[in-house]
Amino acid sequence: MLYVFHGTDATQAAIKARALADSLQKKRPDAAFVKMDGDSWNASAIEGHLGGQGLFSNKYIVLLDRVTENKDAKEGLADLIPAMQESPNIFIVSEGKLLTELKKAVEKSAEKVVECELKKEESKEPSFNVFALADAVGKKDPVRSWMLYRKAVDSGMESEAIIGMLFWKAKTAMDRELARELITLYHDGHRGLRDLELGVERLVLELH
């Protein structure tokens, strides 16, 4: 089975793909989880996961995160798409904007395709330097992070855009705990369980 998240908003695609992977792991705790990116791409390993089973599990959950940054994956991923969909294992693909051939392949074969596109206003250069906020959060500085966060909000930045940038920073810094908190906050906000603006504010104030 194959799920694909892609689009010009690669950050949101990554958030949604990771959230699905986390959800499936909770539902299938016996499944073996495998993550692969462009640096670790291995076509033979993918082929082995198409029909195989884990040594101590019945299923695989395979997350492919921006693997097309690898030249070989970029050229060969489209050919593997039909087999991924037919596999008894679960494949989750997270990408930026797809090339035409790969986009056609996933639209034809995948169980679900989610396209994440930047809004026109988000595509423009923001008046606030959100990278400064991301750096402050990365340094675990709650005071500076809060001050910059309030400036971001006052400048008109949407909470989703701020969460997306902070998720990118957490992923770059390999801060899994922060990344998971941001994913949970994002989905709770869209379910109406939490206020996103207040949720992000509380998160930055509690950095340690």
Q: pLDDT per residue over 41-68, tens digit each? A: 998 889 888 875 555 456 899 999 999 9
On whether both 179 and 88 belong to a single domain, the answer is: no
- The number of angstroms, rounded, from the C-alpha of 68 to the middle of its chain's C-alpha atoms is 15
Average pLDDT (104-109) is 94
Residue 124 has pLDDT above 50, yes or no: no
On whether both 84 and 138 belong to a single domain, the answer is: no
d(CA 110, CA 130): 35
On whether both 74 and 130 belong to a single domain, the answer is: no
On whether both 34 and 126 belong to a single domain, the answer is: no
Classify 190 in phi/psi space as left (phi over 0), alpha (psi -120 to 50) or beta: alpha
Residue 78: give its domain's CATH number. Answer: 3.40.50.300
On whether both 158 and 109 belong to a single domain, the answer is: no
On whether both 152 and 50 belong to a single domain, the answer is: no
Beta strand 112-115 with 2-6 is parallel
Residues spanned by the domain of 73? 2-115
Higher pLDDT, residue 124 or 177: 177
Q: Which of 51, 80, 115 is the last residue of a domain?
A: 115
Q: Which of 83, 115, 147 is the last residue of a domain?
A: 115
- Number of domain units in the chain: 2
d(CA 54, CA 173): 30
Q: What is the model's pLDDT at position 92? A: 96
Average pLDDT (165-181) is 87
Q: Which of 66, 89, 115 is the last residue of a domain?
A: 115
Tokens (6 digits) for 130: 């959100």
d(CA 166, CA 169): 5
Q: How far is CA 18 from CA 36, 129, 136, 187, in A?
A: 12, 26, 24, 12
Q: What is the model's pLDDT at position 77? A: 93
Cβ-proximal residues to 66 (8 Å cutoff; 6+ apart), any chain = 10, 14, 37, 38, 94, 95, 96
On whether both 111 and 146 belong to a single domain, the answer is: no
pTM: 0.59
Q: What is the model's pLDDT at position 119? A: 73
Query: Over the range 139-170, which residues count as b (16 or more CB within 10 Å of their CB) and which as e?
Result: eeebebbbebbebbbeeebebbbbbbbbbbbb
On whether both 132 and 81 belong to a single domain, the answer is: no
d(CA 10, CA 71): 19
On whether both 71 and 55 belong to a single domain, the answer is: yes
Q: What is the pLDDT of residues 140-158, one digit of tens each?
A: 999 999 989 888 887 788 8
On whether both 152 and 191 belong to a single domain, the answer is: yes
Residue 132: give its domain's CATH number. Answer: 1.20.272
On whether both 143 and 196 belong to a single domain, the answer is: yes
Residue 131: pLDDT band (50, 70, 90) is: confident
On whether both 79 and 149 belong to a single domain, the answer is: no
Give just the sign of the alpha carbon dihedral 35, 37, 39, 42. positive
The mean pLDDT value of the chain amounts to 86
d(CA 75, CA 43): 11
